[in-house]
A and B are shown apart, each in its own frame.
Chain A
Amino acid sequence: DTGVSQNPRHKITKRGQNVTFRCDPISEHNRLYWYRQTLGQGPEFLTYFQNEAQLEKSRLLSDRFSAERPKGSFSTLEIQRTEQGDSAMYLCASSLVSGPSGNTIYFGEGSWLTVV
């Protein structure tokens, strides 16, 4: 499978616990994005990496959220001290910088988070 891979696919956690999601982008894609999607809504942008550099962060990304892409390949999204409002699907996506395929952003299957 050469698509965007995310794990875990589902996570149930107690309020106050920390959770971490991992994203493996399509090989050689240098751009990586994180989005959040709540029920009945379209995805909302959280943050974006080009290679290992985090170049843009949404105001939705509070201090409890941190994302890394240490070697410019896979990325992790950590949520500390989870709250019930964090319950959502977290989508990872990747793309190339330029070229015809650079217009296309490919998404993974998402990681569902339920905070109880």
Chain B
Amino acid sequence: AQKITQTQPGMFVQEKEAVTLDCTYDTSDQSYGLFWYKQPSSGEMIFLIYQGSYDEQNATEGRYSLNFQKARKSANLVISASQLGDSAMYFCAMRRPSGGYNKLIFGAGTRLAVHP
């Protein structure tokens, strides 16, 4: 069965430092997509970054980059130069081709706290 594992319930980082949030996934599919979302206390799920399983380059979006290691089935999110506004829950998710790419499977999330 497909599964997303985020082993860090909570992380702390000093402002302006980089932080890595871990995500491992389990799937037998060859084609899939990996996502990271940020969820502040307001509740909205904010899309951060996407990585396709066939993408050869690691995805980057501004201060966010995805360290994709396909053989290890990991898709860690790296946030560079942390800001106070980065404090939130972060969710890793996978979209499967089965069923037409219709659903995301989420991990349990990591709560990030950025300290000044």
Contact for A112 among B37, B43, B45, B50, CB less than 8 A = B43
B102 (CB) vs chain A CBs: closest residue: A48
Residues of B within 8 Å of A, CB-based: how many?
25
Q: Which of B33, B43, B47, B107 contacts A42 (CB 8 A)?
A: B107
C-alpha gap A48/B41 in the complex (Å): 25
Q: Which of B23-80 contact A (CB under 8 A)?
A: 33, 35, 37, 42-47, 50, 52
Give complex CA distance A105, B95 in Å.
10
Cross-chain contact B50 with A104 (CB below 8 angstroms): yes
Assess whether A108 is interfacial by the CB under 8 Å rule.
yes
Q: Are A93 and B33 in contact (CB under 8 A)?
A: no
**Band of interface residues on A:** 20 to 34
Contact B33 A103 (CB under 8 A): yes
Q: In the bound complex, what is the Cα–Cα distance between A108 and B47 (angstroms)?
A: 11
Q: Which residues of B contact A108 (CB under 8 A)?
A: 44
**Complex Cα spacing A41 to B42, Å:** 15
Interface residues of A in 51-87 (CB under 8 A from B): 55-56
Q: Taking CB as reference atom, which chain A residue is nearest B44? A: A109
Q: Mark A28-47, 1 if CB is under 8 A from B, else 0.
A: 00010101000011111100
Complex contact A42–B93 (CB within 8 A): yes
Chain A hits for B107, CB < 8 A: 42
Decide yes or no whether A23 CB sits under 8 A from chain B: no
Q: Does A25 interact with chain B (Cβ within 8 Å)? A: no
**Which of B's residues lie within 8 Å of A, judged by CB?**
4, 33, 35, 37, 42-47, 50, 52, 91, 93, 95, 99-100, 102-109
